[in-house]
Amino acid sequence: GQQLNQSPQSMFIQEGEDVSMNCTSSSIFNTWLWYKQDPGEGPVLLIALYKAGELTSNGRLTAQFGITRKDSFLNISASIPSDVGIYFCAGPPGNAGGTSYGKLTFGQGTILTVHP
């Protein structure tokens, strides 16, 4: 099936540093979603991207939908301790149709640790 490769798998940074993570696929995606999961909680949607080339911000978070539709990145500026968690990229593959409509593929996640 479709796979999303997220990198890096984990990051250890100091408070105040900027963070960058990305997600790539061998197939095109029509939508890119970025979720954050805190321990013991469900994934929370951070940013949704619907158009190739789209650049969207949500506070200190910025994400872009790659022009090739096969990648996306998420940047976090001036990290703070509450940014700690697992960040997932997700999306429906570009050829999704029929009963595949609405099915999301998830990356393996990037574990972010922020040291005060």
Partner 1 sequence: DAGVIQSPRHEVTEMGQEVTLRCKPISGHDYLFWYRQTMMRGLELLIYFNNNVPIDDSGMPEDRFSAKMPNASFSTLKIQPSEPRDSAVYFCASSTTTRTDTQYFGPGTRLTVL
Binding site for partner 1 (CB under 8 A): 30-31, 33, 35, 40-45, 48, 88, 91-92, 99-104, 106, 108-109
Minimum distance from residue 21 beta carbon to partner 1 (Å)? 16
Nearer to partner 1, 42 or 59 (CB): 42
Distance CA(75)–CA(51), nearest Å, equals 18
Collect all residues with Cβ–Cβ distance below 8 Å to 83 and sequence separation of at least 6: 19, 76, 112, 114
Q: Which is nearer to partner 1, 73 or 88 (CB)?
A: 88
End-to-end CA distance of the chain: 40
- Specify the residue, 79 or 87, whose C-beta has the smaller distance to partner 1: 87
Least distance between partner 1 and beta carbon 93 (Å)? 10
